Every structure is written in structure tokens, then in C-alpha cells.
A and B are shown apart, each in its own frame.
Chain A
Amino acid sequence: MATQVFKIADTFRKDVKYTFCPGCDHGVAVRLVAEVLEELGLKEKAIVAAAIGCSVTIYDFLNIDALESPHGRAMAEATGIKRARPDKFVFTYQGDGDFASIGLAESMHAALRGEKISAICINNTTYGMTGGQLGPTTMVGQVTTTSPTGRNLEYYGYPIKVAEHIALCDGTAFSARVSLDTVANIRKAKQAIKKAFEVQLKGLGFGFVEILSSCPTNWKMTPEQAHDRVRNEMMQVFKPGIYKDITEKSGK
């Protein structure tokens, strides 16, 4: 007898084709978000503030209410939505450029205010949609179209460790960094997303997950090589882990 081992979450729109590049981890991240939304029964009360960059297309895939935001402002839009409708489940899905460069003020202050919002930040160490320029998380030495000889600290300064910074904000209830390079890590990532969503549902504060993601197109690598880079380079600097979880201390 046939047993179902995989089911597409009901939170996905029907008959939608993925538009992400082959080997890009956005696809996995969006699937995990969809699954967690379904498992927590949030389809009918979720509103996502979409960002600018490759992440914007999330509203093409998820069958939930969505508002487009100007570049960097998703967290402000999400704050407005949540304050207007505190009974809704509100989250953002942003890239590292959106969350940690142009939108850093909005991101930090939403965390500092302890907004009951959950945020997903995809860190692929580059501006993907515009063709692979240097971004806030571009690694030391990394060659991009705007760091043709590599990110040299004297000239470009340091990349930001987002999950650690968000963890420092007193209004943050949960902050973690995860990767999607192996099945085991994908499972951990899903648990982290669930936790970041649950702290909002419990009214505890800001929930955050930074997801290390491949970008084979702009890294000019095969999907396999890209995941090796996530493992061997990114995870060595942007270390996966839970940086803050107030439910651990208080047992909530």
C-alpha cells in the first residue's frame, strides 16, 4: 500500500512554479516557512511583509495575505500591521541586504521595541537579484562585482553578524542562525523558524532566524560547490546556533 511521505503544505499557492535559480536555498527556506505556517495553523491569520530582492517573490508562493514593502522597510510595514491588528500573525521574509543594510535601523528598533513580529533573514553574502554585489554580509576576501579583488577590510570594512546583533536587543525573545546545507540542518532550521513564530504567538517578543543560504548563480558555482562553500566558509564565520531564547531561561 502506498504511504504518503511528502506533502506540499496547504499554505502554498496551487500550480505555482518556483522562479528561484537552481540550487538556491530560497526554495527550501520558503517551503519551511510554508510548512511551519501550516503546522501552527496560521494560514488564516498570517500577514507577511515582503521585502525587496529575491525574497520579494515569497507572495507568489504562499497563499496568505501579503504586503510589499519598499527596500529595507519591511519591518516598519510589519510593525504597522501588527499594531493595527494585534490578533494577526505577522512576519517578514527579507534578504541580508534588506534586513541588515538598508533596513538595519528598522530591524534593530523593531527588536528593541520587542515587537511581536517574527523575521526571517536570508544571508547569502551578496545582493542576489541585482547580480552579486558586495553586501553587508559579504565575507572577508570574497570577490563580488563591486569587490573585484575581494573584500579587503582596509577598503570595505567588516561584514555584520546579524543573529548576534539581534540577540543583543532586549526586546528579542529568540534569535538563531541556521543553515540548509544538509538534511539534518534543514530540520534544525525548521525548528528554529517554529520557535521564532511561537514566541510571537506567546506574546514574548521579537523572533528572529538568520538562514545561511547558497547563491550558486552569483557565486559562479554549481549547487554542490555552493553548499560546500556554505559549510566550509560561511558556517566557520557565521556560526549556526541559538543566540538568544528567553523560553529556555523562563521555561515559558
Chain B
Amino acid sequence: MAVECLTGKKVLIKGNYAIAQAAVNAGCECYFGYPITPQSEIGEFMSGKMQELGRAYVSAESELAAINMVLGACSTGVKAMSSSSSCAVALMQEALSYATADELPVVLVSVMRGGPGLGNIYPSQGDYNQSTKGGGNGDYKLIVLAPSTVQECADLTYKAFYLAHKYKNPTVLLADGLLGQMMEPVEFKPYPYPEIDNSSWALTGAKGRDGRIIRSYAPLADRQCEFLEKLYDKYKKIEENETEWEELNAEDADVVLVSFGSTSRNVNSAAKLLRQKGLKVGTFRPITLFPFPNNRLAELSKSVKKFVVVEVNMGQMVNDVKLAVNGRVPVELINKGVGTPPSPEEIAAKVEELM
């Protein structure tokens, strides 16, 4: 049943294609999408591949329709996904809110571009808040995974399907135009996670049982309170089990540079430059943006003298770092609004100014 393509080989591949190929390898049965730069290659790849494999691909009439088609497919228990970018992911927020309430294993690949509004097609990290805080209504969380290399684009796509199904919660792979468009060597492993049994809830026709209803509508206030408590118990479990980050020389560092996604590449190089100068600089990269590695940052704040957050937006993740650090030490920001991340030299120079 499992179709594993390119597995075991090292191939030079674009981020968007790596994501699409990994989704196919993960057993994604349905792809629904609408074109938008800089992620259109995902839909282009899927249109051919899914048809070839006898799986479903639909060119949806809009992103509203695309994400709702994903909800429909997911309600039957299959792995299904959509992919999009910034201003179009904005259109999907209502459905993501529904998917959290309906507890559907939706996978969405969000390849960020410049905003607000139409913005531009340069890389950006301006949708950190959109993914982690939500633009939909009500109290909910999306699981958000942020790759920083093309290899991770593939690996975290696998993980996105796994976590979405394990927790019955929509999961976002948050990449950006840089990762989507860049080529790097990737080794595709076979899908490494166990398949999740969904027979207790999936809509498959009421055969030998009563009809199942997947809904969020709760006419009684008590029931809604109860549901929200249950939902947040689940989020707590996700925080306990799934928080993931990468840190380099953070233990003994005076200054820790915090960044996510493609920006971390230059941040790691900047830290190396500063270490060469004898400065005690470390790096910290949240891989899961929700769950955010609050506890580890809080722990580090006992020994670290200063955190410097580097991001390509006007300062979004910096607020989460501040919350985690809780005023114990200063948290500074190095940022630019949109485009490729600042160079290692630029970052290093600014960090030195802040030290």
C-alpha cells in the first residue's frame, strides 16, 4: 500500500518538491489546493503524482474550498492535506478553527511570503502569529512545525501527518519562500511513524452502529465549557510530549540567539563567527512553534545573561520568548520586515553592539 518514492537515495531537490514527495511517501490520500507563489510547485507535483497513484487531487475553486475539502476528507480518517501561502492561508483560518473543534487531523503546509495584504513573494516569517496564535475564532491551538533545511521540510512533513492523526488536531508545516524555492540534498527515509487507528471516530457509514456526528456546535454552555477543558487537556499533553528544539552551545553561553526556520541557518553561522572571537554565544531554535519550548527557555534564563531573537518580521516570536523568560533577563530583537534573512556578518555585528 505504502508508496515510497526516492527512499534510500540522496537527491538534490527543491523544498516545495521535497514537501510534496514526503507527503506522498507518508500516505497522503488526498490533496486539495489553489495556486499561490511561492508554493505552487507542491500542487503541480501533486496533480501528476496523485493521479498516477490513484489518489485524489482537486484543483479547488478557492482556498476556502480547498481547506474545507481537507476537512471533509479527514473526517473519513484518511491522510489529507492542502498547501498555501500567507494571504491565502488567511482565507483558511475559519476552517482551521472548525478543524480544531471537530478534532480533525488536517495537515496544512504554509509557505510564508511577504505581507500584510498581497505583500510580495519574497520570503518572510510574518505568519508566525497567524500560525501559532490563530486567525480563526475561539480558543484553539494548531500544532506548528518549522523546518530550517530542505531535509527537515521532508522529515517534518512526515511528522506533521503523524502528530495530526495522533492528536486529532490540525497541524501546520510552517516553511517560507526561501525553503520552498531552494535546492538541497535530501535523503528520503520511509515514513517512520506508526499508523494511527481511527476506527473509533472516522465517518465510514453507519454499518452495524449508530450514525456518528462530527460537529463543534454545542447549544448548551456547560457542554462547551466541558469541551474546551478537554481540548486544553489535550494541548497540555502535546506540550508535555512533543516540544522539540535544537540548541547549540547554549549551556555555557552569555548570549543565546533564538530564531526559527530558515533564519536559523544564518544565525548559526553568526554564532560561530562570534565564538571565534571568543564571545560566549549559543543558539536556540524552536522546531515546534506550538508547543513552544517555554520550559527550556525559562531554564536557560537562569544562566544566560541575554537573549537575542532574530526573525524576518517586525518581531513576533520575540514576544513568546519574553513570556518564557518572564523578565529574568533582557530579550532583544534583531529583525527585518521581509526578504532573505540578514547575513551572518550583519547578525554578528548587531549582536556585538547589543553585548
**Does A pair with B?**
yes
Instruction: Using CB atoms and an 8 Å cutoff, list the residues of chain A in contact with chain B.
Output: 13, 43-47, 49-50, 56, 59, 62-70, 73, 75-85, 88-89, 105-106, 109, 113
Q: Is B203 touching A66 in the complex (CB atoms < 8 A)? A: yes
Q: Which of A63, A67, A73, A109 contacts B203 (CB 8 A)?
A: A67
> How far in angstroms is the closest Cβ of chain B from A35?
16
Could you give, for residues 87-118 of chain B, a 1 whenever the CB lies within 8 Å of some chain A CB and a 0 otherwise?
A: 00000001100100010000000000000000
Give the docked Cα–Cα distance between A77 and B64 (Å): 11
Pull 10 A–B residue pairs with CB atoms less than 8 Å apart, ordered by A: A13-B210, A59-B211, A59-B215, A67-B203, A67-B215, A69-B71, A76-B72, A80-B70, A80-B73, A109-B60
Give the docked Cα–Cα distance between A85 and B102 (Å): 19
List 6 additional A-B contacts (Cβ < 8 Å) besides A79-B65, A105-B62: A65-B213, A67-B215, A69-B71, A70-B98, A73-B95, A83-B69
Give the docked Cα–Cα distance between A135 and B152 (Å): 49
Looking at B66, B70, B203, the one whose CB has the most chain A CB atoms below 10 A away is B203
Number of interface residues of B (CB under 8 A): 40
In the complex, chain A residues whose CB is within 8 Å of the CB of B64? 73, 76, 105-106
Residue B75 interfacial (CB < 8 Å):
yes
Looking at A46, A65, A66, A80, the one whose CB has the most chain B CB atoms below 10 A away is A80
Give the docked Cα–Cα distance between A62 and B205 (Å): 12
Residue B206 interfacial (CB < 8 Å):
yes
Give the docked Cα–Cα distance between A84 and B30 (Å): 6
Residue B44 interfacial (CB < 8 Å):
no
Could you give, for residues 13-43 of chain B, a 1 whenever the CB lies within 8 Å of some chain A CB and a 0 otherwise?
A: 0000000000000000110100000000000
Residue B74 interfacial (CB < 8 Å):
yes
Residue B214 interfacial (CB < 8 Å):
yes
Q: Is A47 touching B215 in the complex (CB atoms < 8 A)? A: no
Q: Is A109 touching B65 in the complex (CB atoms < 8 A)? A: yes
Give the docked Cα–Cα distance between A209 and B86 (Å): 38
> How far in angstroms is the closest Cβ of chain A from B179?
27
Give the docked Cα–Cα distance between A86 and B73 (Å): 11
In the complex, chain A residues whose CB is within 8 Å of the CB of B204? 65, 85, 88
Q: Is B71 touching A66 in the complex (CB atoms < 8 A)? A: no
Sorted from nearest, which 4 A-B pairs have the closest CB atoms?
A80-B72, A76-B68, A68-B215, A77-B72
Q: Is B72 touching A44 in the complex (CB atoms < 8 A)? A: no
In the complex, chain B residues whose CB is within 8 Å of the CB of A82? 72
Q: Which residue of A lies closest to B210 (CB)?
A: A63
In the complex, chain B residues whose CB is within 8 Å of the CB of A45? 205, 207
Knowing A44-B206, A73-B65, the reply to whether A79 touches B211 (Cβ < 8 A) is no
Q: Which residue of B lies closest to A89 (CB)?
A: B205
Q: Is A81 touching B211 in the complex (CB atoms < 8 A)? A: no
Give the docked Cα–Cα distance between A77 and B72 (Å): 4
Give the docked Cα–Cα distance between A113 and B208 (Å): 33
Interface SS of B by simple majority? mixed
Q: Is B206 touching A43 in the complex (CB atoms < 8 A)? A: yes
Residue B335 interfacial (CB < 8 Å):
no
Give the docked Cα–Cα distance between A64 and B64 (Å): 26
Q: Which of A44, A68, A106, A109 contacts B207 (CB 8 A)?
A: A44
Q: Which residue of B lies closest to A113 (CB)?
A: B58
Give the docked Cα–Cα distance between A53 and B206 (Å): 24
In the complex, chain A residues whose CB is within 8 Å of the CB of B76? 47, 81, 84-85, 88
Q: Is B205 touching A105 in the complex (CB atoms < 8 A)? A: no
Q: Which residue of A lies closest to B64 (CB)?
A: A73
Q: Which residue of A lies closest to B98 (CB)?
A: A70
In the complex, chain A residues whose CB is within 8 Å of the CB of B75? 47, 67, 77, 80-81
Q: Is B68 touching A80 in the complex (CB atoms < 8 A)? A: yes
> How far in angstroms is the closest Cβ of chain A from B246?
35
Q: Which residue of B lies closest to A86 (CB)?
A: B56
Q: Which residue of A lies closest to B203 (CB)?
A: A65
Q: Is A76 touching B206 in the complex (CB atoms < 8 A)? A: no
Knowing A47-B203, A68-B217, A84-B78, the reply to whether A63 touches B211 (Cβ < 8 A) is yes
Q: Is A65 touching B206 in the complex (CB atoms < 8 A)? A: yes
In the complex, chain A residues whose CB is within 8 Å of the CB of B74? 80, 84
Q: Which residue of B lies closest to A90 (CB)?
A: B72
> How far in angstroms is the closest Cβ of chain A from B191?
19
In the complex, chain B residues whose CB is within 8 Å of the CB of A75? 65
In the complex, chain A residues whose CB is within 8 Å of the CB of B211? 13, 59, 62-66
Give the docked Cα–Cα distance between A49 and B102 (Å): 13
Residue B216 interfacial (CB < 8 Å):
yes
Q: Is A46 touching B72 in the complex (CB atoms < 8 A)? A: no
In the complex, chain B residues whose CB is within 8 Å of the CB of A78? 72
In the complex, chain B residues whose CB is within 8 Å of the CB of A81? 72-73, 75-76, 203
> How far in angstroms is the closest Cβ of chain A from B156?
24
> How far in angstroms is the closest Cβ of chain B from A47?
5
Looking at B56, B78, B211, the one whose CB has the most chain A CB atoms below 10 A away is B211
